[in-house]
Chains A and B, each alone.
Chain A
């Protein structure tokens, strides 16, 4: 079979495409960009400010399967001014979304604790949305010794 220049180009383009697909398959992580998209999807495009919200997570998590994480937001939690919801995102997981906590004035405090899975060492982001339309964000790096996404 004679390989024309046109064929060669088509094949190599195909090969590159395959390689890219392959790469995407290997690096099944959300990344900063996708997390940013998820965050703005949650906030509705409002630029988050820092402060008010505190994200607590261990500096080093030995087991990525259960990483304790807690959030608390400084808020009066009255009917006029309370924290509506707090979302947690993990940048290095296959999907950035972790959980969304929804609070009401009956919650008394905007604070919650849970345990999450982390695939690898990464940044964990917490974003709070108040009933007055303000958005706050906190970020923390967690070092993971053993990843927790199976596979």
Chain B
């Protein structure tokens, strides 16, 4: 699959001060750079090396990723919401490509 497709699960609404759980998944081969093809040549490394989640512009959670993360990297983490707003998710590939998605949440 050429383009990585992000999938994110955020609750639609929450009450102020709640700690919510966010689940993210993106389809990506995460080629580790350790494998070899049939001719014995090393397949070059190509992974997503960074993931970041921001809420209304402020960083909530981020991670630096090494090749030991499985294909189709999955991350589950929490966020504390005080006001309604938009979560923005950004994945950065080794080749500089950036995959993005957004989710809004209503807070009462």
Interface size counted on chain B using CB atoms at 8 A: 29
Q: Is B70 interfacial (CB 8 A cutoff)?
A: yes
B18 to chain A, nearest CB (A): 8
Chain B residues closer than 8 Å to A66, beta-carbon distance? 70-71
Chain B residues closer than 8 Å to A90, beta-carbon distance? 68
* Chain A contacts with B in 71-104, Cβ cutoff 8 A: 77, 90, 93-95, 97-104
B93 to chain A, nearest CB (A): 16
CB <8 Å contact, A151 and B69: no
CB <8 Å contact, B77 and A112: yes
Chain B residues closer than 8 Å to A107, beta-carbon distance? 60-61, 77-80
| A13-21, A43-51, A114-122, A126-134: which lies at the interface | A114-122
Q: Is A109 interfacial (CB 8 A cutoff)?
A: yes
Q: Is A149 interfacial (CB 8 A cutoff)?
A: yes
CB <8 Å contact, A150 and B70: no
In the bound complex, how far is the Cα of B55 from the Cα of A103, in angstroms?
13
Residue positions of A touching B, CB distance < 8 A: 65-67, 70, 77, 90, 93-95, 97-109, 111-118, 148-151
